[in-house]
């Protein structure tokens, strides 16, 4: 289990964050926030420090009122004196209360704004980076971390205010306690600091443990717990009656999570033990020293009460701070993942775009491509060029590299070796796993031309072309019919969705390269034949690539290229390829032809 | 506050998780007692100190009291950790129980309900909030054993020294209750109201940043469009939430002022007692400290009570409505369901007959399957062909009992398939559905799920691998058939291509040699040679068993003993290949058109 779980964490995740890094990130964000929301940031900082004053006032209040009452009971102080002091302290507390209220009102607005900003930046970036990042797992890890940045980001301000509070507290408490003895104050602070450091270390271990042994189990248990939420999953679990299997998995990981969680909690025993012993010593010492001082008349009884209350609060505040510093470890990682994400892709160069008089549209030379985590190259050196207006069929087995080559041409994969020159090329495509967008019919088509609005007539024209108009027109809302399950939309069949995907292709009139990756897989055979004829009749002088397993269609292409194991192995017309001995194309074609014997 | 539905949930939790809940209750009550005790000890310390001032030296009892005081404080701190420990323990158990019931209930829900939007809305609400039950029980425990216990203790102390304080506690309690209840109600309403928008928000975000749409987003360059939509909806949701948060802050602020005034009044009352010299210094210190803590505790009490009484009870009620009816016996019997599968309930497969079957989807007014009758005999291979949306897939779902018939009847071996025995029918089928799930589990489990009663039998698994031709794929991985598919489960998992997934689905259908093999578009993304191999081996693999093939591929039709053509939910043609060619109908035109592609010289 140890080995396996460790793999869940990328090395970077396990590295410790130094206080230096912590403050650096803190400072960076504070500067950013100050630059962007100057007034709010300043107000938040000031208000939160002021609000901290309540602790000090409460302590002093306790001291004075206890002294007052004690004096009154011993008849050394008049009752009016107590009332006067009480009123003063109540007024002071009212002031602090108002400050707190102002802070409470300001902070949700401030946070909400900041989180929105961060979310915007992340989503903007994610939808902007090259597609190939989506092929890498590290990227996902980074995204997951960065996604938490929204909630961590505003903490920069809280971190600073916390720090200021602690400093203020140390000064105030030193002043209050120095009455006992300066050396004593030193002893207290040193022992408390020691306690804080120890508990920091232990909690840090706990955090590591959590990340390594608890959170992976949580992830799995959540996966199996929520597997039902998906309609298709539900259907397939029902079909196979495999609920027992999924439930057992869920229970197993739930138990694992629980066990590890309990172990995690056991770590706290150390912290509790150590801090308790420290607390015991410091507290006892203080109580006895101040008690003796009180009896001898050095201190008042109010001072004694105050000191005890102060020590309790000192412990809690320092404990909070330690926890905050520990979260800092996480905080820095989250935020550095966020900044890394924003930096991604910045320096990626655009593709070479030749300006050309020649009729070559795409010129590929020595093209190699390797996926981020793959062992071997998916494309192993391709030299080929395509003329304008050519109709090219791309044929090959599953996993031979067809899709990779097409993705490079489409600009989805940019980290290739070799050269790719495009001559005034603008591509559009119908992909095998085309999108089924939960929007209106009109919007679904408009997405094909970047989401810009098209006139209704144009939409109708396209729908007619792909033979979907009759169906859509029969719906009460026509082309504004909502599709999909998101909001009581109309459910389309896979074939109808496919027609819509082809409609998207037609929406972009400026495109001069079409890539069709199994564009008719979900149409029935007659419609398929019709659709192919239709697409080619509209293609005009465009360069068309199409990938199909139905070689009856490939046969009629001007040019057929066969890709096998990352290389172009055959290139020519149908007749040429059929005359090759042991050709892959020939073998595939013959095997399909048999059906029609 | 606790209605019948909530009571049922609580009862169930107590019945199944009593020990865990009891441990938690014990811990909570102890920690409350400690806090009260600390205050009392403190009173005595102050008094002994003040006696010491008079006597000129510290009495011995002072040292003992201080020691006790510190020990209590340490206990109090330590309880924080023990509390976390205890609550974890019971939470995970309670969660497990209620998720279990939910999972089995949703498993038993008919597939057709998933096409119903209202149901889906409720479903996702309940499934997202099931863990609220354990937090409800937690807040209830805290409410009763911590807050109420503490308050009762404090009020008793107040009653001894200053009966007026009891009334103060009451006033602040009522106020807190009103404010918090209002907020909780609003929060719940907002949650419910935002469900729809939230779904849109999640969807746009998914389109914008998810992998499935990442390619098209870039090819069609529609990022800006979606981005604008996302921002619009996000901002609207955000502002709504912010408005509620600000309202909450205003109310809480108001409440804090009221609390301040009441505290002031309480202090004045206390001073009045001092004026009359009704209590000694220690008692004064005790009461002074308690005023502060009692307010905080009432505050907390109300929070727990409200989240118990209003917010979470609503979630609990929704949960109850979803899972009902269910009996305790049923819950107990939810354990290895796969043990229930035995031998085939109606004997070896002989015949499946469908009589005038019709089906209409919940959101539609058109019959997806319209008055269809046909029969399937042992050893036959039947191929169903037809336009998209002609009802082929629906027909298959009716056959397997996944969808209920709107009209008509189905007989298996002459026994009518009805609600009572529908559950048993599936054992006859090995299904390769068109919409398959890419479960992130080990490969062998994925295939094994095809026949769960075989409990992942090695031999049967190997047989299925061989039939689906996935042995080369398996041998490619170093963990062989224990390789985990997908990354959700384990980051070491492998990503498969569409074709590879599909061959796994075929293997899963072959698993356990089902009486009827049912494949719906099994080769849509498999390359031609592989497809040929699968089609070629089919008859041999079946070993005389029955098969229903739904496909666009003529290859499958050629293989079949009988071909059924469907159009608009009806069967239009039925017969062998030769018969249908002679008929000259749709099938004939289909065959000839495709044949031309392969034989004619230049067509397009």
**Alpha carbon of B100: minimum distance to chain A alpha carbons (Å):** 7
Query: Residue A386 half-sphere exposure, CB side, CA atoms within 13 Å?
Result: 32
Is B23 within the bounds of a domain? yes
Average pLDDT on A301-312 reads 85
Nearest CA in chain A to B257: A97
Number of domains in chain B: 2
Residues of chain A neighbouring B71 (CB-CB closer than 8 A): 280
Does the pLDDT value for residue A352 go beyond 60? Answer: no
Strand ranges across the sheet with B546-550: B429-432, B516-520, B546-550, B381-386, B562-567, B570-575
Confidence of residue A351 (pLDDT cuts 50, 70, 90): low
Residues of chain B neighbouring A312 (CB-CB closer than 8 A): 73
Q: Are A121 and A113 in contact (CB under 8 A)?
A: no
CB contact under 8 A, B69 and A533: no
What pairing do the DSSP bridges indicate for beta strands B570-575 and B562-567?
Answer: antiparallel
Last residue of a domain, one of B333, B350, B367: B333
Is B374 within the bounds of a domain? no
Residues of chain B neighbouring A250 (CB-CB closer than 8 A): 99, 103
Nearest CA in chain A to B233: A116
Residues of chain A neighbouring B93 (CB-CB closer than 8 A): 258
CB contact under 8 A, B598 and A446: no
For residue B37, give the CATH number of its domain: 1.20.1560.10
Among the residue ranges A433-442, A443-452, B449-458, the one predicted with the least confidence is: B449-458
Residue A91 pLDDT: 92
A424 vs A457, higher pLDDT: A457
Does the pLDDT value for residue A138 go beyond 90? Answer: no
What pairing do the DSSP bridges indicate for beta strands B367-377 and B415-416?
Answer: unpaired
Does the pLDDT value for residue A516 go beyond 80? Answer: yes
Q: Which of A128, A228, A428 sits opposite B220 (nearest CB)?
A: A428
Average pLDDT on A517-526 reads 77
Rounded (10°) CA dihedral A256, A262, A264, A270: -160
Residue A561 pLDDT: 92
Average pLDDT on A445-470 reads 89
CB pairs under 8 A between A and B: 414
Q: Which of B42, B81, B281 sits opposite A69 (nearest CB)?
A: B281
Residue A584 pLDDT: 86
Same-domain check for residues B318 and B450: no
Q: Which two tokens stand for residue B123?
A: 């479903």
Average pLDDT on A521-529 reads 76
Nearest CA in chain A to B43: A305
Same-domain check for residues B385 and B279: no
CB contact under 8 A, B88 and A82: no
Q: Are A476 and A324 in contact (CB under 8 A)?
A: no
In angstroms, the CA A220 to CA B31 distance is: 34
Residue-wise pLDDT for B376-393, tens only, equals 888 888 988 877 677 888
**Alpha carbon of B259: minimum distance to chain A alpha carbons (Å):** 11
Nearest CA in chain B to A80: B275
Does the pLDDT value for residue A445 go beyond 80? Answer: yes
Is B413 within the bounds of a domain? no
Sign of the Cα torsion B362, B364, B367, B369 reads negative
Same-domain check for residues B314 and B384: no
Residue B603 pLDDT: 44
Same-domain check for residues B326 and B383: no
CB contact under 8 A, B433 and A235: yes
Residue B145 pLDDT: 80
Listing DSSP states for A201-241 in one string gives: HHHHHHHHHIIIIIHHHHHHHHHHHSGGGSHHHHHHHHHHT
A486 vs B285, higher pLDDT: B285
Does the pLDDT value for residue A346 go beyond 70? Answer: no
Residue A4 pLDDT: 39
CB contact under 8 A, A595 and B214: no
The residue of B17, B65, B67, B218 whose CB has the most chain A CBs within 10 angstroms, and thus the best one to mutate to test that interface, is B218
Is B520 within the bounds of a domain? yes
Is B297 within the bounds of a domain? yes
Does the pLDDT value for residue A463 go beyond 60? Answer: yes
B532 vs A36, higher pLDDT: A36
**Percentage, residues of chain A above pLDDT 90:** 7
Does the pLDDT value for residue A589 go beyond 80? Answer: yes
**Alpha carbon of B309: minimum distance to chain A alpha carbons (Å):** 26
Confidence of residue A5 (pLDDT cuts 50, 70, 90): very low
Is B146 within the bounds of a domain? yes
Average pLDDT on A476-500 reads 83
Same-domain check for residues B113 and B239: yes
Last residue of a domain, one of B298, B318, B333: B333
Residues of chain B neighbouring A258 (CB-CB closer than 8 A): 88-89, 92-93
| Mean per-residue pLDDT over chain A, rounded | 82
Q: Are B471 and B465 in contact (CB under 8 A)?
A: yes
Ranges of chain B whose pLDDT falls below 70? 1-2, 303-311, 326, 328-329, 333-342, 388, 420, 488-489, 491, 600-604
Residues of chain B neighbouring A446 (CB-CB closer than 8 A): 222, 225
Residue A88 pLDDT: 92
Residue B350 pLDDT: 83
Residues of chain A neighbouring B207 (CB-CB closer than 8 A): 435, 437
Burial letters B135-166, b for 16+ CB under 10 A, else e: bbbbbbbbbbbbbbbbbebbbebbeebbebbe
- Assigned CATH for A353-426+512-596: 3.40.50.300
Q: Which of A119, A251, A268 sits opposite B96 (nearest CB)?
A: A251
Q: Which of B245, B488, B593 sits opposite A223 (nearest CB)?
A: B488
Is B370 within the bounds of a domain? no
**Phi and psi, residue B430, nearest 5°:** -120, 115
Q: Check whether the bond before A391 is cis (ω within 30° of 0).
A: no
Q: Which of A120, A295, A518 sits opposite B52 (nearest CB)?
A: A295
In angstroms, the CA A202 to CA A208 distance is: 10
For residue B500, give the CATH number of its domain: 3.40.50.300
CB contact under 8 A, B127 and A437: no
CB contact under 8 A, B402 and A448: no
Residue B231 pLDDT: 94
Which residue's structure tokens are 């020294």? B161
Residue range(s) defining the domain that contains residue B161: 4-333
Domain ranges of chain A: 18-178+327-348, 180-298, 353-426+512-596
CB contact under 8 A, B597 and A555: yes
Average pLDDT on A207-232 reads 79
B157 vs A573, higher pLDDT: A573
Average pLDDT on A144-153 reads 77
**Alpha carbon of B5: minimum distance to chain A alpha carbons (Å):** 24
Instruction: Pick the closest to residue A110 from A166, A164, A50, A47 (CA basis).
Output: A47
Residue A10 pLDDT: 44
In angstroms, the CA A337 to CA A143 distance is: 8
ipTM above 0.85, yes or no: no
CB contact under 8 A, B437 and A275: no
Q: Are A472 and A478 in contact (CB under 8 A)?
A: yes
Last residue of a domain, one of B333, B368, B401: B333
In angstroms, the CA B564 to CA B382 distance is: 7
Residue B604 pLDDT: 40
Q: Which of B69, B103, B246 sits opposite A228 (nearest CB)?
A: B103
**Alpha carbon of B472: minimum distance to chain A alpha carbons (Å):** 13
């Amino acid at each position: 289990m140890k080995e396996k779980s460790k793999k869940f964490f990328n090395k970077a995740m396990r590295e410790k964050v130094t206080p230096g890094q912590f403050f650096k990130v803190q400072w960076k964000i504070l500067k950013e926030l100050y630059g962007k929301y100057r007034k709010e940031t300043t107000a938040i900082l000031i208000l939160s420090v002021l609000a901290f004053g309540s602790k000090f006032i409460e302590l002093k209040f306790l001291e004075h009122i206890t002294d007052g009452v004690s004096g009154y009971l011993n008849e050394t102080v008049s009752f009016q004196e107590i009332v006067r002091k009480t009123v003063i302290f109540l007024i002071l507390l009212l002031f602090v209360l108002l400050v707190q209220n102002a802070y409470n009102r300001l902070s949700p607005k401030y946070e909400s704004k900041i989180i929105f900003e961060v979310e915007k930046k992340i989503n903007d970036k994610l939808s902007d980076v090259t597609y190939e990042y989506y092929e890498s797992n590290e990227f996902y890890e980074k995204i997951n971390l960065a996604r938490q940045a929204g909630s961590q980001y505003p903490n920069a301000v809280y971190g600073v205010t916390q720090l200021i509070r602690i400093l203020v507290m140390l000064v105030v408490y030193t002043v209050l306690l120095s009455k006992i003895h300066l050396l004593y104050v030193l002893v207290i602070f040193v022992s408390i600091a020691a306690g804080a450091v120890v508990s920091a270390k232990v909690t840090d271990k706990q955090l590591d443990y959590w990340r390594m042994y608890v959170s992976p189990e949580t992830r799995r248990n959540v996966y199996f717990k929520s597997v039902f939420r998906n309609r298709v999953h539900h259907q397939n679990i029902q079909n196979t009656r495999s609920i027992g299997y999924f439930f057992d998995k869920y229970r197993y990981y739930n138990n694992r999570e629980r066990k590890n969680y309990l172990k995690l909690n056991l770590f706290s025993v150390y912290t509790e033990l150590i801090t308790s012993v420290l607390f015991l010593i410091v507290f006892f010492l203080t109580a006895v020293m101040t008690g003796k001082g009180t009896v001898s008349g050095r201190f008042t009884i109010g001072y004694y009460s105050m000191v005890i209350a102060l020590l309790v609060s000192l412990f809690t505040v320092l404990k909070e701070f330690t926890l905050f510093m520990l979260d800092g470890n996480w905080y820095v990682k989250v935020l550095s993942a966020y900044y890394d994400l924003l930096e991604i892709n910045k320096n990626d160069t655009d593709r070479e775009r030749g300006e050309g008089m020649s009729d070559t549209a795409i010129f590929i030379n020595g093209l190699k491509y390797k996926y981020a985590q793959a062992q071997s190259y998916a494309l192993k050196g391709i030299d080929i060029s395509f003329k304008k207006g050519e109709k090219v069929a791309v044929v090959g087995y599953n996993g031979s590299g067809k899709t990779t080559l097409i993705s490079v041409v489409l600009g989805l994969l940019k980290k290739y070796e070799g050269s790719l020159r495009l001559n005034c090329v603008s591509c559009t495509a119908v992909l095998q796993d085309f999108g089924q967008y939960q929007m209106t019919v009109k919007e679904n088509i408009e997405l094909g031309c970047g989401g810009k609005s098209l006139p209704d007539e144009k939409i109708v024209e396209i729908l007619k072309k792909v033979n979907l108009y009759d169906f859509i027109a029969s719906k009460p809302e026509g082309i504004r019919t909502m599709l999909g399950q998101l909001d009581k939309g109309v459910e389309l069949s896979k074939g109808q969705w496919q027609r819509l995907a082809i409609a998207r292709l037609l929406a972009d009139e400026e495109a001069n390269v079409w890539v069709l990756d199994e564009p008719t897989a979900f149409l029935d055979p007659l419609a398929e034949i019709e659709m192919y004829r239709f697409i080619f009749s509209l293609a005009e002088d465009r360069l068309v690539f199409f990938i199909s397993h139905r070689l009856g269609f490939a046969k009629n292409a001007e040019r057929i290229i066969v890709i096998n194991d990352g290389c172009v192995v055959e290139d020519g017309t149908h007749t040429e390829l059929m005359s090759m001995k042991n050709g892959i194309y020939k073998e595939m074609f013959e095997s399909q032809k048999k059906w029609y014997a | 506050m606790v209605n019948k539905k909530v009571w049922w949930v609580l009862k169930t939790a107590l019945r199944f998780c009593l020990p865990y809940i009891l441990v938690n209750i014990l811990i909570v009550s102890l920690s409350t007692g400690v806090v009260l005790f600390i205050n009392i000890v403190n009173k005595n310390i102050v008094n002994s100190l003040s006696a010491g001032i008079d006597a000129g030296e510290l009495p011995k009892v002072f040292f003992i009291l201080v020691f006790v005081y510190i020990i209590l404080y340490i206990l109090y701190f330590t309880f924080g950790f023990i509390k976390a420990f205890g609550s974890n323990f019971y939470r995970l158990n309670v969660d497990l129980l209620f998720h279990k019931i939910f999972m089995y209930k949703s498993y038993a829900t008919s597939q057709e309900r998933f096409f119903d939007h209202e149901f889906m809305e409720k479903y996702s609400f309940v499934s997202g909030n099931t863990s609220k039950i354990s937090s409800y029980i937690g807040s209830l425990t805290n409410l009763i054993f911590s807050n109420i216990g503490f308050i009762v203790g404090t009020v008793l102390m107040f009653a001894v020294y200053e009966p007026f304080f009891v009334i103060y506690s009451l006033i602040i309690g009522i106020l807190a209750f009103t404010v918090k209840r209002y907020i909780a109600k609003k929060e719940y309403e907002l949650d419910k109201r935002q469900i729809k928008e939230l779904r849109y928000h999640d969807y746009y975000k998914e389109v914008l940043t998810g992998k499935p749409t990442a390619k098209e987003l870039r090819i069609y360059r529609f990022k800006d469009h979606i981005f604008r939509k996302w921002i619009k909806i996000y901002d609207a949701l955000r502002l709504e939430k912010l408005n509620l948060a600000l309202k909450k802050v205003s109310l809480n602020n108001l409440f804090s002022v009221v609390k301040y005034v009441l505290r002031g009044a309480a202090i004045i009352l206390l001073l009045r007692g001092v004026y009359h010299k009704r209590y000694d210094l220690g008692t004064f210190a005790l009461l002074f400290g308690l005023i502060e803590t009692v307010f905080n505790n009432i505050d907390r009490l109300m929070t727990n009570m409200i989240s118990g009484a209003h917010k979470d009870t609503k979630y609990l009620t929704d949960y109850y409505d979803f899972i009902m009816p269910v009996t305790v016996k049923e819950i107990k019997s939810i354990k290895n369901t796969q043990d229930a599968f035995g031998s085939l309930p109606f004997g070896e497969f002989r015949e499946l007959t469908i009589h005038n079957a019709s089906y209409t989807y919940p959101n539609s007014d058109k019959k997806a399957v319209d008055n269809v009758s046909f029969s399937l005999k042992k050893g036959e291979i039947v191929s169903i062909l037809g336009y998209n949306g002609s009802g082929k897939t629906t027909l298959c779902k009716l056959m397997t009992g996944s969808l209920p018939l709107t009209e008509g009847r189905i007989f298996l071996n002459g026994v009518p398939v009805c609600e009572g025995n529908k559950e048993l029918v599936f054992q006859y089928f090995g299904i390769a559905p068109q919409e398959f799930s890419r479960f992130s589990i080990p490969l062998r489990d994925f295939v094994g799920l095809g026949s769960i009663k075989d409990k992942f039998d090695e031999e049967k698994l190997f047989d299925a691998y061989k039939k689906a031709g996935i042995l080369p794929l398996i041998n490619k991985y170093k963990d062989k058939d224990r390789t985990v598919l997908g990354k959700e489960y384990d980051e070491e998992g492998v990503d498969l291509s569409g074709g590879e997934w599909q061959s796994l689905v075929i293997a899963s259908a072959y698993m356990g040699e089902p009486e009827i093999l049912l494949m719906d578009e099994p080769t849509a993304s498999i390359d031609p040679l592989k497809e040929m191999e699968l089609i070629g081996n089919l008859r041999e693999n079946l070993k005389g068993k029955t098969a229903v093939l739904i496909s666009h591929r003529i290859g499958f039709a050629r293989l079949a003993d009988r071909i059924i053509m469907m159009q608009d939910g009806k069967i239009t043609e039925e017969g062998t290949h030769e018969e249908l060619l002679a008929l000259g109908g749709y099938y004939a035109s289909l065959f000839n058109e495709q044949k031309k592609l392969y034989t004619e010289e230049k067509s397009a």
